[in-house]
Amino acid sequence: MKEFQLIEHFFNRRGQTRRDVELGIGDDCALVQAAPNKSIAISCDTLVENVHFYPDIPPQALGYKSLAVNLSDLASMGAEPAWMTLALTLPDVDETWLEQFSTGLFDAAEYYGVSLIGGDTTRGPRAISITINGLVPTGTALTRSGAKNGDWIYVTGTLGDSALGLDVIRGNRRVDVEYNEYLINRHYYPTPRVLAGQSLRNLATSAIDLSDGLASDILHVLKRSQVGAVIDVDLLPLSQAVKDSVSEQEAISYALTGGEDYELLFTVPEAQKGALETALANACVEFTQVGQVTSDKQLRLIRNGEAFNLTNIGFEHFS
């Protein structure tokens, strides 16, 4: 199967067809209609074999996750998903692999209302690059730079599940059989908090998605906002699977540095706490207050009221 046959068979005219797409796959460029009074949020993520995923990952899970990690970036800005392009690098044409991968990709695309409007395919070591576009009402996008002294710090969901799930997959951890599937699925099928992000518009002062671990990702917010923070590690939300499978110290480490949870971390002023509870309850998303923004431009972790030292800060490329 040649390049254009591959595109036509596995990707063209599949998934969501949005009315604002004038011209999709098949030309030199795609054409979309920009909505009035809305900004376009754009993000790009690349997943590389043996860096972001292992060769034995189920192709359907890889297809889903490739889009989910991009959707999480849109969620952190409060944007509505709209269009994506896909650059797919493959060592060869494996039709079974492509069928499963594209199924996972379009499962996510259809659920979140995303149209595939173009991209590229090439031969080489397996890698997936997706550029995603979303829409957000002008002036309401969440950023990393708005946190203020005294704001409360929250996270959605639970932390550490994905990293522990990866250790289970790699055979580095053994857990009770009742938690096995849950943890593996939290790694393979993360939930981008798209609706939660939209609910935080006009409430949160800053937001970021947790891809590299809370201890690492919050530093981006602190740097851009020119503030500091205190995080109480006793407040970190942990699933029953994590709490029952590892020691308390290990659970904290997974939650702070494990990465790939794709939950949202966000800051909210005192005056908006009541509205926040209503907004996220309507979005059916659990959230937990884990700390507070400070003015000293330092990140401090505490446990039982005392300083908590962390040696591993989180994942970083080229470190």
CATH code for position 42: 3.30.1330.10
Same domain, 156 and 252: yes
Residue 31 has a pLDDT of 82
Same domain, 54 and 188: no
Same domain, 166 and 55: no
Same domain, 81 and 160: no
Residue 1 has a pLDDT of 60
Same domain, 181 and 293: yes
Number of domains in the chain: 2
- CA 261 vs. chain centroid, Å, equals 7
Same domain, 212 and 113: no
Same domain, 128 and 161: no
Same domain, 60 and 105: yes
Burial (CB < 10 A; 0-12, 13-18, 19+), residue 282, is exposed
Same domain, 128 and 172: no
CATH assignment at residue 263:
3.90.650.10
Same domain, 98 and 210: no
Residue stretches of the annotated binding site = 28, 43, 45, 52, 73, 119-120, 144, 209, 211-212, 260, 315
Which residues span the domain enclosing 161? 152-306
Residue stretches of the annotated binding site for substrate = 52, 260, 315
Is residue 317 domain-resident?
A: no
Same domain, 166 and 300: yes
| CB 189, CB 65: distance < 8 Å | yes
Residue stretches of the annotated binding site for ATP = 119-120, 144, 211
**Last residue within a domain, chosen from 137, 172, 206:** 137
The pTM of this model reads 0.90
pLDDT, averaged per 10 consecutive residues of the chain (319 residues), comes to: 61 68 73 89 94 93 97 97 94 91 95 91 94 95 97 98 96 95 97 97 97 96 98 97 96 95 98 95 94 96 90 47
